[in-house]
């Protein structure tokens, strides 16, 4: 730990702290040495120990990883959780039916008995972070090739993780930082009884939908409410009526105070992935392969889905979560490519690379140690290009055909039938039949049928023939004269997976030959063979790429870069800090730091699926019934901007003021800085958050769920 802290302090000092103070996703054990001075200057009133402590309750004990892809926070002594609406969206959708459409109407549990369980949903608390770099690299030496190096590292990792979980119910993982040059042990505790408590209707929680997504000004009430339960002994336990609301170590107080430009803002959460140390070659791959493919493929699929969703309330519910998950990063990719080009990010990366080349070639020792870094990355990225492209198309097009994935439900039945063991067959069949309702609940065959036709045609048109699964030639061409529509229609007509009724009929009398010859099984196996081949071809470049990336980041630690080297996000808890600020997106335009209820009403379009509003909402606005949640400045706040550095995974993260009080939930970034995961833009990059006062107003005044607010510790 001391070794890493010393290195980082030297880096910060030697770089002259050229990066803005609000740039960076910081490791909690290091904030005392690296960040407290700057945070205090910005207005922070807390100590490092109050933020992250191993010996007493601290803010980190209130921050959770929610479902593995978002962040949440504990806001009451009874385990109440706040996170984003879009983080809870899949769970809200899973409970929704045409008769009880919680997506459309919202949901509020007026008693704890009304709260809805969510099988498979878990929340994770961080127990501690520990520097284990020396232990992990103890047997690693410079002469090792990448295979041997990785084997030594993985062996050390596993031993450390086993030791950390002996005699307790914790989970542990050793994560790599700085391109695999440093390693930390992270110890967690996971709770799996998490219940839905409340959610506004989507007309509030997703207000603006795709049109407003990633853009300011925002007027979205992006929040949902859950509660975590423990066993009667306070320990993690599977769902049971005997479980009790968790008694947390710490929960966040909630502030109703005004927010002002320049106020300190701090966010803690679980940012997923950034690529701030990408080279120009990796950025080029994003620009020309990854993002264009995602934009094109998902755009076509989403158009098909949306048409059916608009025509049927049932299909709208079935595909709501799928569509939302797909469209979010579809639009992200559009924005990222636009800004990578507009902000000339490749040229900026090349400037750093030129600086590196001059620096490394000026010293023989440096050249021997780091000289191959860029060439390894360049040759790997360029060498894998055609395989990367084909793999993405395979995953997005073919694996994106829902019916083809249904064969996985019979993964255990197939070997059981081959064994002719009646007991195994009976058990495998029983397990499938118990889950068929859930499997088909959110599936509409005609929608998938149209989508599959489009996806198979797109793959054939855009991907070189040498990467085509053999069913194109052996089945589509040979049996259907190249007619993809007829091939798909035949599959839906004959496959046992095409509907719940057909699968149930088969399971009542399973036959090995029928399963083996099912068109879904045959088609799936055909493209899985191609997926394996592509994976093998791509993997040939992995060792050189990983080595190049590791050497590149290590080299950047020894030269003078343009920004402070903090570790890239990797789904571990981080702290980021900044201030509430306006920004100037373009010439003669300034965006102020907050939006109001007036802006929600201004965007209102009756009957529009993105901008409609409930009548009660409009009535409350008209009467100015804002309760205690309006600003003393005369408006009802909705969203606000800060300069915090976040990315995907931070959704639902608490935004806290200088006293560690909750002032909002982070939920988005801004369009003008969509390149931020690759290159931080200090003048443009902003975090968009929903104001906690708007959250509480919806919860209390609009929904009548004031009992939930009563659980919280309110600061006025």
625/532 same-domain check = no
147/253 same-domain check = no
pLDDT band at residue 346 using 50, 70 and 90 as cut-offs: very high
CA distance 131 to 289: 37
CA distance 373 to 375: 6
With respect to residue 553, please indicate whether it lies within any of the assigned structural domains.
no
CA distance 599 to 591: 13
Query: Which residue shows structure tokens 């299909």?
Result: 315
Tell me which of 2-11, 34-43, 364-373 is least confident: 2-11
Domain boundary among 548, 579, 601: 548
207/183 same-domain check = no
- Residue 142 confidence (pLDDT): 87
Query: Which residue shows structure tokens 């592509």?
Result: 534
- Residue 275 confidence (pLDDT): 96
> How much is the average pLDDT of 549-558?
93
Query: Of 333, 327, 331, 281, nearest to 301 (Cα)?
Result: 327
User: Could you report the per-residue pLDDT of 485-494, keeping only the tens digit for each?
Assistant: 999 999 999 9
> How much is the average pLDDT of 569-584?
97
Task: Give me the domain span that covers residue 425.
Answer: 280-548
Q: Give the DSSP per-residue string, 522-586.
A: HHHHHHHHHHHHHHHHHHTTHHHHHHHHHHHHHHHTTS--SS--PPPPBSS-EEEEEEB--EEEE
With respect to residue 3, please indicate whether it lies within any of the assigned structural domains.
no
Q: Give the DSSP per-residue string, 162-200.
A: HHHTTTSS-EEEEEEEGGGTEEEEEEEEEE-EEEEEEE-
- Residue 400 confidence (pLDDT): 80
- Residue 19 confidence (pLDDT): 38
Domain boundary among 189, 206, 239: 189
- Asked if pLDDT for residue 172 goes beyond 50, the answer is yes
299/269 same-domain check = no
Average pLDDT, the chain: 94
268/311 same-domain check = no
Helix (H/G/I), strand (E/B), else coil: 667: strand
Is residue 644 within 8 Å of 267, Cβ to Cβ? yes
- Residue 399 confidence (pLDDT): 76
User: Could you report the per-residue pLDDT of 350-367, keeping only the tens digit for each?
Assistant: 999 999 999 999 999 999
- Residue 10 confidence (pLDDT): 38
329/215 same-domain check = no
Catalytic-labelled residue, pool 280, 651, 653, 675: 651
302/262 same-domain check = no
Long-range contacts of 366-375 (CB under 8 A, 24+ apart): 366/555, 366/558, 369/551, 369/555, 370/551, 370/552, 370/554, 370/555, 370/558, 372/548, 372/551, 373/548, 373/551, 373/552, 373/555, 374/279, 374/548, 374/552, 375/548
351/439 same-domain check = yes
- Asked if pLDDT for residue 20 goes beyond 70, the answer is no
Strands 63-66 and 123-131, by their bridges, are antiparallel
176/219 same-domain check = no
Q: 135 is written with which tokens? A: 């232990």
User: Could you report the per-residue pLDDT of 508-530, keeping only the tens digit for each?
Assistant: 999 999 999 999 999 999 999 99
CA distance 8 to 181: 13
Domain boundary among 523, 548, 573: 548
57/199 same-domain check = yes
Roughly how many angstroms between the first and final C-alpha of the chain, as a whole number? Answer: 40
User: Could you report the per-residue pLDDT of 426-485, keeping only the tens digit for each?
Assistant: 999 999 999 999 999 999 999 999 999 999 999 999 999 999 999 999 999 999 999 999
Q: How many Cα neighbours within 13 Å face the side chain of 238?
A: 2
With respect to residue 269, please indicate whether it lies within any of the assigned structural domains.
yes
Domains held by the chain: number: 3
% of the chain residues with pLDDT over 90 = 92
- C-alpha distances in angstroms, 655 versus 48, 90, 250, 254, 651? 17, 23, 16, 10, 11
357/489 same-domain check = yes
- Asked if pLDDT for residue 390 goes beyond 50, the answer is yes
With respect to residue 5, please indicate whether it lies within any of the assigned structural domains.
no
Q: 4 is written with which tokens? A: 């890493």
CA distance 117 to 502: 30
List residues bridging with 128 in a β-sheet: 187
Q: 580 is written with which tokens? A: 């509430």
With respect to residue 7, please indicate whether it lies within any of the assigned structural domains.
no
Is residue 276 within 8 Å of 679, Cβ to Cβ? yes
> How much is the average pLDDT of 699-706?
98
Is residue 51 within 8 Å of 660, Cβ to Cβ? yes
The count of other CB atoms within 10 Å of the CB of residue 499 is 16
CA distance 156 to 148: 12
DSSP state of 115: P
CA distance 17 to 11: 9
* 86 among known catalytic residues: yes
State the CATH number of the domain containing residue 27.
2.40.10.120
Is residue 650 within 8 Å of 572, Cβ to Cβ? no
With respect to residue 4, please indicate whether it lies within any of the assigned structural domains.
no
pLDDT band at residue 562 using 50, 70 and 90 as cut-offs: low
- Residue 559 confidence (pLDDT): 86
- Residues near 716 by beta carbon (within 8 Å), at least 6 away in sequence: 255, 256, 257, 628
Measured at the CA of 500, the angle between CA 495 and CA 506, to 5 degrees, comes to 60
Is residue 271 within 8 Å of 649, Cβ to Cβ? yes
Backbone angles phi, psi at 52, to 5 degrees: -140, 115
> How much is the average pLDDT of 133-138?
97
- Residue 131 confidence (pLDDT): 97
Is residue 441 within 8 Å of 321, Cβ to Cβ? no
Backbone angles phi, psi at 85, to 5 degrees: -60, -40
Is residue 262 within 8 Å of 580, Cβ to Cβ? yes
DSSP state of 30: G
- Residue 11 confidence (pLDDT): 39
47/90 same-domain check = yes
List residues bridging with 123 in a β-sheet: 66, 191
* 651 among known catalytic residues: yes
Quote the longest CA-to-CA distance of the chain. Answer: 76
pLDDT band at residue 403 using 50, 70 and 90 as cut-offs: very high
More confident residue, 558 or 369: 369
Is residue 96 within 8 Å of 317, Cβ to Cβ? yes
Q: Give the DSSP per-residue string, 192-246.
A: -EEEEEEE--HHHHTTTHHHHTT-SS------EEEEEEE-TTSS-----TT-EE-
- Asked if pLDDT for residue 9 goes beyond 90, the answer is no
- Residue 16 confidence (pLDDT): 33
CA distance 456 to 449: 11
Is residue 195 within 8 Å of 227, Cβ to Cβ? yes
User: Could you report the per-residue pLDDT of 266-318, keeping only the tens digit for each?
Assistant: 999 999 999 999 999 999 999 999 999 999 999 999 999 999 999 999 999 99
Catalytic-labelled residue, pool 222, 308, 544, 645: 222
User: Could you report the per-residue pLDDT of 647-699, keeping only the tens digit for each?
Assistant: 999 999 999 999 999 999 999 999 999 999 999 998 999 999 999 999 999 99
With respect to residue 554, please indicate whether it lies within any of the assigned structural domains.
no
List residues bridging with 432 in a β-sheet: none
Catalytic-labelled residue, pool 22, 61, 65, 86: 86
CA distance 686 to 670: 6
Is residue 702 within 8 Å of 684, Cβ to Cβ? no
> How much is the average pLDDT of 75-101?
97
- Residue 561 confidence (pLDDT): 55
With respect to residue 558, please indicate whether it lies within any of the assigned structural domains.
no
Q: Give the length of the chain.
A: 716
């Amino acid at each position: 730990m001391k070794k890493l802290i010393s290195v980082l302090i030297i880096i910060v000092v030697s770089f002259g702290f050229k990066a803005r103070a609000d740039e960076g996703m910081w490791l909690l054990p290091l904030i005392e040495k690296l960040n407290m001075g700057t945070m205090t200057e910005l207005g922070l009133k807390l100590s490092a120990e109050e933020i992250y402590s191993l010996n007493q309750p601290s803010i980190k004990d209130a921050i959770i990883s929610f479902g593995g892809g978002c962040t949440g926070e504990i806001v009451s002594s009874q385990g109440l959780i706040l996170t984003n609406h879009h983080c809870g969206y899949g769970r809200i959708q899973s409970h929704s039916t045409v008769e009880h459409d919680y997506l459309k109407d919202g949901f509020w549990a007026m008693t704890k008995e009304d709260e809805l369980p969510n099988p498979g949903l878990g929340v994770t608390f961080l127990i501690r972070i520990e520097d284990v770099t020396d232990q992990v690299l103890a047997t690693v030496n410079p002469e090792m090739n990448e295979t041997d190096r990785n084997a030594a590292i993985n062996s050390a990792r596993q031993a450390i993780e086993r030791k950390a979980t002996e005699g307790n119910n914790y989970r542990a993982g050793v994560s790599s930082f700085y391109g695999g040059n440093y390693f930390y042990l992270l110890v967690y505790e996971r709770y799996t009884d998490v219940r839905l408590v409340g959610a506004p209707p989507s007309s509030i929680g997703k207000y603006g939908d795709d049109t407003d997504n990633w853009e300011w000004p925002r007027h979205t009430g992006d929040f949902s409410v859950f509660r975590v339960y423990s066993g009667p002994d306070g320990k993690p336990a599977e769902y049971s009526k005997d479980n009790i609301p968790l008694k947390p170590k710490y929960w966040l107080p909630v502030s109703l105070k005004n927010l002002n430009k320049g106020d300190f803002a701090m966010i803690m959460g679980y940012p997923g992935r950034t690529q701030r140390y990408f080279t120009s070659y990796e950025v080029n791959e994003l620009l020309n392969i990854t993002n264009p493919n995602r934009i094109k493929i998902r755009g076509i699929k989403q158009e098909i889905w949306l048409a059916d969703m608009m025509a049927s309330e049932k299909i709208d519910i079935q595909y709501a979560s799928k569509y939302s998950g797909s469209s979010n990063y579809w639009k992200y990719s559009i924005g990222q490519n636009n800004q990578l080009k507009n902000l000339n990010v490749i040229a900026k990366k090349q400037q750093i690379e030129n600086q590196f080349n001059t620096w490394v070639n000026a010293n023989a020792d440096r050249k021997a140690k780091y000289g191959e870094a860029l060439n390894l990355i360049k040759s790997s990225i360029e060498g894998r290009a055609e395989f990367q492209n084909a793999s993405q198309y395979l995953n997005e097009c073919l694996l994106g055909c829902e019916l083809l994935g249904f064969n996985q439900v019979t993964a255990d039945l197939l070997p059981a039938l081959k064994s002719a063991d009646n007991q195994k067959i009976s058990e495998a069949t029983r397990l499938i039949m118990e889950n068929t309702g859930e499997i088909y609940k959110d599936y509409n065959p005609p929608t998938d049928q149209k989508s599959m036709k489009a996806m198979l045609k797109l793959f054939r048109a855009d991907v070189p023939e040498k990467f085509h699964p053999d069913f194109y030639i052996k089945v589509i061409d040979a049996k259907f004269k190249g007619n993809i529509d007829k091939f798909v229609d035949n599959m839906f007509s004959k496959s046992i997976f095409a509907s719940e009724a057909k699968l149930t009929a088969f399971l009542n009398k399973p036959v090995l030959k029928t399963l083996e010859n099912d068109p879904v099984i045959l088609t799936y196996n055909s493209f899985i063979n191609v997926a394996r081949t592509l994976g093998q071809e791509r993997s040939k470049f992995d060792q050189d790429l990983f080595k190049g990336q590791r050497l590149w980041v290590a080299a950047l630690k020894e030269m003078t870069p343009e920004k402070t080297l903090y570790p890239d996000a990797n789904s571990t808890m981080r702290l980021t800090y900044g201030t509430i600020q306006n920004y100037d997106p373009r010439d003669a335009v300034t965006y102020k730091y907050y939006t109001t209820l007036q802006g929600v009403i201004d965007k209102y379009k009756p009957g529009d699926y993105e901008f409609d509003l409930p009548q009660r909402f409009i009535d409350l606005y008209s009467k100015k019934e804002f309760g205690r949640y309006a600003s003393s400045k005369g408006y009802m706040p909705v969203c606000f901007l800060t300069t915090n550095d976040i990315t995907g995974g931070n959704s639902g993260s608490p935004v806290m003021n200088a006293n560690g009080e909750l002032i909002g939930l982070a939920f988005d970034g801004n369009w003008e800085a969509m390149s931020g995961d690759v290159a931080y833009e200090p003048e443009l990059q902003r975090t968009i958050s929903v104001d906690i006062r708007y959250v509480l107003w919806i919860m209390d005044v609009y929904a009548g769920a004031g009992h939930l607010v009563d659980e919280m510790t309110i600061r006025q």
